[in-house]
Amino acid sequence: MGWDGDRCKRHQGLDLKQFIASFHATSYHALTMDNLTRIKTKTPAPYKLSDIETDTHDTKTFRFELPPDATLDMLPGDFLYVHATLNGKQIKRAYTPSSLPGTTGSFDVTVKRYETGTISKYLHEQNIGDTVLMSGPNTGGHWIDGMAKRVGFVAGGTGITPMISIIRWILTKKLDAELVLLFANKTESDMIFREEWERHVRQYPNFTCHHVLEQPPPGWSGGTGRITSDMLQQHLPGPSPDTCIFLCGPPPMVDSLEVTLKELGYPEQTIILP
């Protein structure tokens, strides 16, 4: 995720746990049978920064090099730890790669700069050619192919980063799933990956996107204020055995909306927090 603080916690109920256990037992061996090197480290390893793209006024995407035949050993929604020693203290923060899982030669991390965010400010001060220490990938609240046919994504701010990895994966693989994104921001200028969401809506009939702004501009036709129970009911797929909801954003938002989703009838095991 992109929050420079505690990660969203994750709930996996019995059914999803059984599904995930089955997946790892049957599929992970197959993932190692190709010619790719799959990278996963428990200790921090250096990654060279090869490109920086400005996404919004305070958000950048950092591209890090991998060998040409290497990829991160991860599922969509898994995360890395970024490590740094700042003011004599060793610090680590969790970030979900925003690039498509399985990408070779590089991976992307999208980070919003916060004045109180030590690692986010540290990353925004890096230059092309610098190296950053990272460990992982680590298991997060991830997507596994076949886990649902109707998928809702509720994101606030840089809580969008695990969502884009999962959405890109499902759309690129043309999986049989209906996707709905409900994305909340303060202002229009804070909307990360806005052009990509609009492009996906045009290109993929199984993807819809609804924006919510706390401070909308004149003539804004989307949602206003903060995400409410009515918005969740209006836009998300309803509770069912074929539905799961990914939820990520600032901890107060996540805590509040998790309770609201349960009140609306979504079982705890179907609410996944990357």
| pLDDT tens, the chain, 274 aa long | 554 444 444 444 434 444 444 444 333 333 443 688 999 999 999 999 999 999 999 999 999 999 999 999 999 999 999 999 998 999 999 999 999 999 999 999 999 999 888 999 999 999 999 999 999 999 989 999 999 999 999 999 989 989 989 999 999 999 999 999 999 999 999 999 999 999 999 999 999 999 999 999 999 999 999 999 999 999 999 999 999 999 999 999 999 999 999 999 999 999 999 8
Closest CA to 109 of 252, 183, 122, 247: 122
- Say how far residue 201 (Cα) sits from the centre of its chain: 19
Domains annotated for the chain, with CATH where assigned, are: 14-18+141-272 (3.40.50.80), 35-137 (2.40.30.10)
Q: Residue-wise over 46-56: b if at least 16 C-beta within 10 A, else e?
A: ebebeeeeebb
Q: What is the CA radius of gyration of the chain?
A: 18
- What SS3 state is found at 151? strand
pTM of the model as a whole: 0.86
Question: Both tokens of residue 100?
Answer: 């498509």
Closest CA to 151 of 75, 206, 196, 231: 206
Question: Both tokens of residue 88?
Answer: 């004599």
